[in-house]
Every structure is written in C-alpha cells, then in structure tokens.
Amino acid sequence: MSRAQLTSTDQQNSGGAVPPVVGGKNFIANGGMDIFQRSTSVTIPNTTPGYYAPDRFLFYSNGGSTTLSRVAGTAGITYATQVATTTGNTQINIENRLEYQQAQLLMGKTVTFSFYVNAATTSGVSIAVGDYYPSALDNWASVTFAQKGTVSAAQLSAGNWVRQSVTFTADTNTTGLGFYLTITGLGANTLQITGWQVEIGNVATPFSRAGGTLQGELALCQRYYEKSYDLATAPGTAVNSTFVTPSATTTSYIYGFVPYKVTKRTTPTVLIWDNGGNANATTRGLLGSGNSNNQNGAVDDQSMTGFTWLSAGSSNANIAFIHFTASAEL
Amino acid sequence: MTYTYSIPNDLENQPRTDVVLRSDGAWIPTDPANSDYQAYLATLAANSAPQANSTES
C-alpha cells in the first residue's frame, strides 16, 4: 500500500507525517546558515542587492550603512546572520531564490515558511513575509513580490530568539520562485536571523537542513558558488593556492584547467586571483627560484564543470598558480 | 554598484564571442542562463555599449 493511500488528504497536501529532521524537507538551501563562502563579516553597498555573506541568501539594504556578520545561532543551529543597521535605514530584504525546476514542487501548494529572529530592539520593527518570482525563466533581473503575512513588533522579543512562521499558498508560474523577508523600522538596530525553512504543509516542523548534512548543504551551495580558498578564507586573500599547473620551462603561456567540485547550475562567472590577492592575475614560478605574483592571467574556455586558464609572463617559469571563484547564482 | 564591460581578444587578437569581461575582473560567459550575462544584456539594452576591445593577456 502506498503512502498516499495511508494518509489523509490533508496529510498528502502537507507532505504527510514525515520525520522532523530529514534531507529534502526544507526547500531553502543553507537555511541554517552553515556555509559562508564569501565572507563572515562585510559592509554591504546601499541599494545593491547581492550575495554577500551566507551562501544562497541575497541581501538588500536601503539607507544608512549595513554590516552583515556571522554570529551564534539558536535551537541547535550553529550560526546566524546578524544585520547591523544604522540611522537612516528604511529597509532590509533577505531573499532566497529557487530554480524553477526545484520550485515547481511548491507551486500552488500550501507551504509554511518559518525562521528564527532576534531583534535587539523591537519597537517599530515589522517583517513582511512572502514569496516572489522572476519575470522570465530563472532570470531574476525583474521580479514580482507577493506578501503573504506580517510579523509585527509584538511578535518579537527584544534581545531574544523567537521562531515565527507563515502558512500560505505558494504562487504558481513558469519562471521560478523565491522567498523573502522585508524588514522595516530598524533604523539603528541589530537583527539576527537563521533557521529558514520552507516546507510543504501547514505546520512549521523542526528545522532540518535541505542537504541533510553539512556536506550535503555545502554541495547544494556549490551548485551556485564555489571557490578555491579554504571555507574560512575570503576570496582575494593573499594565500598560496593549490590550484597549480606544471609546465615545461617557458617564457610564454602556461595553460591550466580547474575542475569544479560540483557541477554548476549553468556556466558560471569566474574571477581569478594570484597568490598575493591581486585580481585577474596569476602567480608564476620557477621551481627552486621562487614565485612572482601579479602576472597576467585570463580565463579561457568555460563550462558547467570547469574552466581553462592562461598565465602569461616574460620570465622563465615552469609552474603557475591561480585562485578562483565561480558563481552561477540566480 | 555600476560596472563597465569590455570584449577581450583571443590569442589571435580577435574579439572573443564566448565571454564578456566586467570591470571587476569577472569573466562572464555568454550563457543566457548566467545572471551576470543577463545583467550585461540589460545594460546593453539601456544603451550602454561595450568599451573598445582589450587584449586578453
């Protein structure tokens, strides 16, 4: 007998009596903010939405100066993101976008969007909760927001974590689906957030990683963004790379290949650095004679699985290094 | 944040058709599904033409 036959209509719609912690229940990759490949502390530009700190989360700030930093989480979730705003801030958006192919499973269904939030000061703070979608297939240059609920100041507790949830019918379209919080009334304040979960059904079940494990979560993130640096090292940091290509001794080009750890959503945008942290450069070396940073470099062929690159310089070299990031974000 | 774009040349000094070089050094593939390429196309649509060719390396 199938599970569908064993469960009521409500349970079928809500996903049934699934275990509370299981990979795939939560549609939000990195909902527990385990992975911060780009930075664990960064001041973000005003009115420029982007992926700055926790993987898969897009942040937008309007007014004042806003800093994102990784802080301790709650309820067994190790990390959270702290949004520190300054006087003049009128809006913070926190968003997480799903590819259409993944989002289809949610469209038209009853879903529950839950998260943990801790605001230092709650007076005047309001959080709009909803989903949103792009105007073209997986092309988020233009989006439509659909507010589904509100978390008011009265539902928050100054300096304490609270879990909030909103249940609604996810929008249906042929382009994609994301989930967002719009936070207003912060001014100069700090707000911490973690434990994002979007699941089918009308109940906020205990938080569960989308990828099931830390490695699963990292792999989910790496479908969209990958770097050559250690996880705790921000891109562009001056540190020796292990992405090295040996060559016959030459004053001409050295040609290298980088295979991605995880196949990307689409052909990604690539940035490269040398061992000294110089952008768009390579490090060339002659074994036994040391290395030279800031040598010319270029990305050549690109695909979803890797890229080739060139190092050019005038001095003899038989080895070349690069660091890289590859972004296939939505 | 405002970027400018250029079309790099290949090793034969011909303009490449597979990539756009952004002013922060990002190598953006001409892949319609790449969000940075979508942003580039939007910039073009706003009548911001690419700058003159630059050599690759």
The answer to whether B35 contacts A45, with C-beta atoms less than 8 Å apart, is: no
Q: From A61, A288, A276, select the one nearest A187 (Cα to Cα).
A: A61
Q: Considering chain B, what percentage of its residues have pLDDT values greater than 70?
A: 81
pLDDT tens, A146-191?
A: 999 999 999 999 999 999 999 999 999 999 999 999 999 999 999 9
Structure tokens at A238: 């001056």
Is residue A312 included in any domain, yes or no?
yes
| Confidence bin at B1 (pLDDT 50/70/90) | confident
Q: What is the pTM of this model?
A: 0.92
Q: Examine the domain organization and report whether A27 and A148 are in the same domain.
A: yes
CA–CA dist A146, A48 (Å, integer): 21
pLDDT at B54 > cutoff 50: no
Q: What pLDDT is attached to residue A64?
A: 86
Q: What pLDDT is attached to residue A282?
A: 97
Question: Closest chain A residue to B41 measured between Cα atoms?
Answer: A141
Q: Examine the domain organization and report whether A27 and A114 are in the same domain.
A: yes
pLDDT at B56 > cutoff 60: no
In which order are the strands placed within the sheet that holds A177-184? A57-62, A91-98, A177-184, A126-136, A139-151
Q: Examine the domain organization and report whether A278 and A157 are in the same domain.
A: no
Q: What is the distance in angstroms between the Cα of A328 and the nearest Cα belonging to chain B?
A: 6
Q: With the C-alpha atoms ordered A173, A177, A179, A184, is the resulting torsion angle positive or negative?
A: negative
Give strand ranges (E) for chain A: 41-44, 57-62, 66-72, 79-85, 91-98, 110-119, 126-136, 139-151, 162-169, 177-184, 189-200, 225-227, 244-250, 254-259, 269-273, 281-286, 290-302, 306-312, 317-321, 323-327
ipTM of the complex: 0.90
CA–CA dist B38, A49 (Å, integer): 15
Q: Let me know: does A235 contact A229? Beta carbons within 8 Å.
A: yes
Structure tokens at B41: 């196309």
Provide residues of A within 8 Å CB-CB of chain B: 45, 48, 50, 138-141, 253, 265-272, 279-280, 296-299, 301-302, 307, 310, 312, 327-330
**Three-class DSSP category at A154:** helix
Q: What is the distance in angstroms between the Cα of B50 and the nearest Cα belonging to chain A?
A: 18
Q: Domain range holding A38?
A: 5-222
The answer to whether B35 contacts A299, with C-beta atoms less than 8 Å apart, is: no
Considering its fold, how many domains does chain A have in total?
2
Q: Considering chain A, what percentage of its residues have pLDDT values greater than 70?
A: 94
Q: Examine the domain organization and report whether A174 and A284 are in the same domain.
A: no
Is residue A298 included in any domain, yes or no?
yes
Q: Let me know: does A54 contact A98? Beta carbons within 8 Å.
A: no
Q: Examine the domain organization and report whether A139 and A68 are in the same domain.
A: yes
Question: Which of A157, A188, A222 lies at the terminal end of a domain, its last residue?
Answer: A222
What is the dihedral angle through the alpha carbons of A14, A117, A141, B23, rounded to the nearest 10 degrees? Answer: -140
Q: Let me know: does A45 contact A68? Beta carbons within 8 Å.
A: no
pLDDT tens, A11-55?
A: 444 555 666 778 789 999 999 999 999 999 999 999 999 999 999
Q: Examine the domain organization and report whether A215 and A264 are in the same domain.
A: no
| Confidence bin at B48 (pLDDT 50/70/90) | low
Q: Let me know: does B8 contact B56? Beta carbons within 8 Å.
A: yes
Give me the average pLDDT of each 10-residue run along chain A (330 residues).
Answer: 40 56 91 98 96 98 95 98 97 98 97 98 98 97 97 98 98 98 98 98 97 97 98 97 93 96 98 98 95 96 98 92 98
Q: Examine the domain organization and report whether A195 and A68 are in the same domain.
A: yes
- Any residues with CB less than 8 A from the CB of A10 and at least 6 apart, and which? none
The answer to whether B25 contacts A271, with C-beta atoms less than 8 Å apart, is: yes
Burial of residue A44 (CB within 10 Å: 0-12, 13-18, 19+) is buried
Residue pointed to by tokens 């912060």: A186
B44 Cβ under 8 Å from any chain A Cβ: no
What is the dihedral angle through the alpha carbons of A40, A44, A47, A53, rounded to the nearest 10 degrees? Answer: -10
Q: What pLDDT is attached to residue A110?
A: 98
Q: What pLDDT is attached to residue B27?
A: 98
Is residue A227 included in any domain, yes or no?
no
**Residues forming a β-bridge with A259:** A306
Is residue A145 included in any domain, yes or no?
yes
CA–CA dist A324, A270 (Å, integer): 7
pLDDT at B57 > cutoff 70: no
Q: Examine the domain organization and report whether A191 and A80 are in the same domain.
A: yes
Q: What's A298's domain CATH number?
A: 2.60.40
Structure tokens at B33: 């599904």
Q: Examine the domain organization and report whether A172 and A262 are in the same domain.
A: no
Is residue A237 included in any domain, yes or no?
no
Is residue A213 included in any domain, yes or no?
yes
Q: Examine the domain organization and report whether A136 and A276 are in the same domain.
A: no
Q: What is the distance in angstroms between the Cα of A131 and the nearest Cα belonging to chain B?
A: 20
Radius of gyration of chain A (CA): 22
| Confidence bin at B49 (pLDDT 50/70/90) | low
pLDDT tens, B14-47?
A: 999 999 999 999 999 999 999 999 999 999 998 6
Cβ neighbours of A44 in B, within 8 Å: none
Q: Examine the domain organization and report whether A259 and A314 are in the same domain.
A: yes
Q: What's A28's domain CATH number?
A: 2.60.120.260
Q: Examine the domain organization and report whether A144 and A186 are in the same domain.
A: yes
Is residue A17 included in any domain, yes or no?
yes
Question: Of A138, A279, A296, which is closest to B33 when you measure between CB atoms?
Answer: A138
Question: Of B11, B24, B38, which is closest to A141 when you measure between CB atoms?
Answer: B38
Residue pointed to by tokens 């040398």: A274
Is residue A28 included in any domain, yes or no?
yes
Structure tokens at A216: 């699963």
